[in-house]
Structure 1
């Protein structure tokens, strides 16, 4: 009976108004999340995320590095997807089984039309390591040569003997020849690294820019649609309303809070990781700038004339990094954090509602027990008085006793009504937090994500357009400034 009364009272809360219902709206939100996820699969394919996951073990990574090293050893002209794969797989020094292994592991299933970005980075790393070893060995040889020449100049041919002097000269000449060979090797490796940079890495980065631009255009559409959906939410209608603040639903709220925290972490990681990668790549590319060319570090980096001496990919990375700094990622992070706090407040409110419900249920049981006890006592007293056929005084005492017991019962019932009113108020507050919290929180997040997506699309579009204009300007020897 009491539960029925509460249910009737709650129907006032659930009366639909003009607008969308929360649960129905959240289904549309989920659909747009799936569309956004699907658009991101292209980037995962381009960056070969599944292949990177497969190489998570140390032994697999070592084996992959060894294959890259062998590919460099067998064919020293690896520079592009077409030339590197054809020349390597046709090399007479490679067995048929090894060709099959390398073909399946290194050159098949490219994530980009321009080739495997991860394998290009692997080859660049291998060549950089080889270059480091060659320079280190050449430096040691040069130092030995300098010491040998110094000793040879200080030698007295009369005292040391002509044979010993001739031997020292021969050793010095041999060291000089080794230095010349090392210099040619260093120059050759440097040429291969630059060829990899221009023929593989550069087109891969530009292809990635196009892919990211397409991805964020879809993200922009999804987040704008999600924001519109949440702004239309006006009410919450659930068959389980009045019972949703149980342990399982509190757990669901807690899980939602955890997912929001994970969403925030993933978003900030995406921004910071992209920034770290572009900065690292730009730092490496800056090594190709001649020491005689001034590397501008002040003023507006996007229009400085010294950029004309930079490799095109360095200009792109420099502009890319500068634009990443201006994206409104902090606004998104703050909106996600704020929404997480709203969800945590809902979790606390559900706990308070549960506590109030337990209090009402306990009082209801106590009222039922007292009512039953009163009825039994009333029946016993009535039977006793009738059998005794007592005096008028006894009847009056009986009436007073029953009235007192009834008054106590009525006071307890009023106490229960007060607690039921508090429970109803608590449920209304929970309901309000759900409607306002979800609408305000999601709308804030989606609005900030839409602005971030719009700025991101503009950034990638500008970088792509700049590259197209730069190609035309290269032949004219003019400089192109990137305009946001």
Structure 2
């Protein structure tokens, strides 16, 4: 009898490996869904935070008067406001150098052309002070534009051809070896709403920057709840089951071997308009194949055990020279099982081939596109967060006269709404980073097992075997080491200052209630005093002339005066509380907003470099392989 079945690795190890592969792929299917959901929620949080901040600013502006005293010249902001030293390029460069696989830290990418309707251009908050040009004096309605590094000035020149230049521009040029920066500073006086409106515009642009990646991740519409995207694990089995067999529309179908059927119109389900398989369909088909492989391996193991028993029985019969018919029957049983094992082995190899085919021809190119999409998204977000950092620097130059207007209920509700949206921004950012880490981790775990074939005479290794695993290892290293804690703490610090405003507004409201209550008591006691005065007269003496007798009018008058003092004191406290609220609000915006955008600018810059390094390394490996294939 042949021993072909010995080609199979030890049964228990093989079944265990395939079970682990299936588990990793199941996690990967879920992680892809979570990654897409977290990405969608993060983009949404950028939009809603901007809107909430604008509503908050509008309500606050209604309480403030942005007026200058007659004859007072406007406070013109300097063209290069200095960011806090904590966000210096050294700190970010040190972090990125130690956390990415790139051996060279690339300079920030050049800024994109600006819209002609915008009053802002790019200012790099991480540029060293020594590299900044000297300030140029300008009139109130003039602009100042400074261009650095003539080496790459052609980039800005080419971009500006498609954009109308702003009117009344004063240009100054300086040279620096670090990077090319174009800065346009508006000297026109603006109020809080105008500044926040521009800030909101760039929240929208930053959210739009994630659009192409949303297409790659195939963000589902109408299928996600915030609970699902926030990492809660309720009903995962049921939702995963639904996810596996339906996506976008519910018309996707596979045949018994995990291949796509065509719909009635002859279109391939699970493929985009260009006929290329979508990432979602590729991942889900891989899971179907992994389930099939696991079942086939388990079946083969059962057959192998049965085969070994039958071979042992046949051996005993042959040794004992047993009855001919029994011996022949045992031989036929062994031959039958041998045939079934051969079929099972062929099925396993066929399934493994389909998995390798999907991994090479579909999954690997999709992963390259995802990394490329992440690079482009974070580069664009870096540019827009950089502009936002510059915009919020103008808050410190607002010409505000302290307001005595109390916080309205509308403003209080807008503050609570802003706090909620800031919380969601922080939560969605943390979820986004966790979801991407889970995505890459589950993928890398599956690849680590699937690159080892089931059989000893495994199929030949292809270039993608090492290329896709190398890509995912580099990706995992990059995403694990990007300093997302710095960015999340930056958002959290913004949330903290907004919460402080909420607390102060609450205290102001409580103080107003105490003041109103004191005046209400005063009015009540004053009314009682008047009643006594009308009854006894203003200076009525007591009925008894004894010195121990009491004068009800005088006693009431003393109480009224005491309450009057208390009411005036509570009123003063309320006015003080209003003043504190107004001052705190502006101060917290001036201090909190620059910090969060400096943190996001630095983080997005590091992400750009990290993902660009991963993508370039993968492309380099691909090109090197092609060169080796050409050379004799």
Which residue is 1:49 aligned to?
219
Contact 1:14–1:236 (Cα < 8 Å) also in 2:
yes
- Provide the secondary structure at the position in 1 that maps to 2:210: helix
Contact 1:148–1:168 (Cα < 8 Å) also in 2:
yes
Which residue is 1:133 aligned to?
295
Contact 2:437–2:479 (Cα < 8 Å) also in 1:
yes
Which residue is 2:514 aligned to?
359
Write 1 or 2 for the structure with the bigger share of helix.
1
| Normalised TM-score (structure 1) | 0.73
1:287 aligned residue (446, 449, 452): 449
1:113-161 superposed Cα distances (whole Å, 9 cap, x missing partner): 8531000011111111111111111111111111111111111476531
Which residue is 2:170 aligned to?
none
| Aligned: 1:169 with 2:169 | no
For residues 332 and 352 of structure 1, the distance between their equivalents in structure 2, rounded to whole angstroms, comes to 30
| Aligned: 1:150 with 2:315 | no
Q: CA deviation at 1:374?
A: 8.5
For residues 538 and 251 of structure 2, the distance between their equivalents in structure 1, rounded to whole angstroms, comes to 101
- Provide the secondary structure at the position in 2 that maps to 1:337: helix
The residue correspondences of 1:1-150 to structure 2 (distance < 5 A) are 18=75, 20-50=190-220, 53=223, 60-61=242-243, 63-64=245-246, 70-71=254-255, 73=257, 89=262, 98-100=263-265, 103=267, 105-109=269-273, 114-150=276-312
The residue correspondences of 1:11-410 to structure 2 (distance < 5 A) are 18=75, 20-50=190-220, 53=223, 60-61=242-243, 63-64=245-246, 70-71=254-255, 73=257, 89=262, 98-100=263-265, 103=267, 105-109=269-273, 114-156=276-318, 160-234=322-396, 235=398, 242-246=405-409, 248-290=410-452, 311-364=466-519
Which residue is 2:593 aligned to?
442
Unaligned runs of 5+ in 2: 1-61, 69-73, 78-189, 226-237, 455-462, 541-552
Which residue is 2:572 aligned to?
421
Which residue is 1:452 aligned to?
603
For residues 182 and 36 of structure 1, the distance between their equivalents in structure 2, rounded to whole angstroms, comes to 53
- Provide the secondary structure at the position in 2 that maps to 1:49: coil
- Provide the secondary structure at the position in 2 that maps to 1:233: helix
Contact 1:114–1:207 (Cα < 8 Å) also in 2:
no
For residues 192 and 104 of structure 1, the distance between their equivalents in structure 2, rounded to whole angstroms, comes to 18
Contact 2:522–2:563 (Cα < 8 Å) also in 1:
yes
For residues 445 and 365 of structure 2, the distance between their equivalents in structure 1, rounded to whole angstroms, comes to 19
* Structure 2 CA distance for partners of 1:469 and 1:421, relative to 1, 3 Å: same
Which residue is 2:7 aligned to?
none
Q: CA deviation at 1:71?
A: 3.4
Q: CA deviation at 1:243?
A: 3.1
Q: CA deviation at 1:425?
A: 2.0
For residues 271 and 11 of structure 1, the distance between their equivalents in structure 2, rounded to whole angstroms, comes to 39
1:9-67 superposed Cα distances (whole Å, 9 cap, x missing partner): x9998655736533322222221111112222222222111268289967854654997
- Provide the secondary structure at the position in 1 that maps to 2:270: helix
Number of aligned residues: 416
For residues 45 and 123 of structure 1, the distance between their equivalents in structure 2, rounded to whole angstroms, comes to 19
* Structure 2 CA distance for partners of 1:309 and 1:105, relative to 1, 3 Å: closer
* Structure 2 CA distance for partners of 1:211 and 1:125, relative to 1, 3 Å: same
Contact 1:271–1:329 (Cα < 8 Å) also in 2:
yes
For residues 437 and 241 of structure 2, the distance between their equivalents in structure 1, rounded to whole angstroms, comes to 29
Contact 2:209–2:377 (Cα < 8 Å) also in 1:
yes
- Provide the secondary structure at the position in 1 that maps to 2:598: helix
For residues 430 and 458 of structure 1, the distance between their equivalents in structure 2, rounded to whole angstroms, comes to 42
* Structure 2 CA distance for partners of 1:340 and 1:51, relative to 1, 3 Å: closer
Cα RMSD (Å) of the superposition?
4.1
* Structure 2 CA distance for partners of 1:415 and 1:58, relative to 1, 3 Å: closer
Contact 1:152–1:169 (Cα < 8 Å) also in 2:
yes
Q: CA deviation at 1:464?
A: 1.6
- Provide the secondary structure at the position in 2 that maps to 1:160: coil
For residues 611 and 304 of structure 2, the distance between their equivalents in structure 1, rounded to whole angstroms, comes to 47
1:78-104 superposed Cα distances (whole Å, 9 cap, x missing partner): 5xxxxx7xxx54xxxxxxxx433x837
Contact 2:364–2:464 (Cα < 8 Å) also in 1:
no
Contact 2:286–2:358 (Cα < 8 Å) also in 1:
yes
For residues 426 and 63 of structure 2, the distance between their equivalents in structure 1, rounded to whole angstroms, comes to 37
Larger radius of gyration: 1
Unaligned runs of 5+ in 1: 1-9, 79-83, 90-97, 293-307, 386-401, 479-484
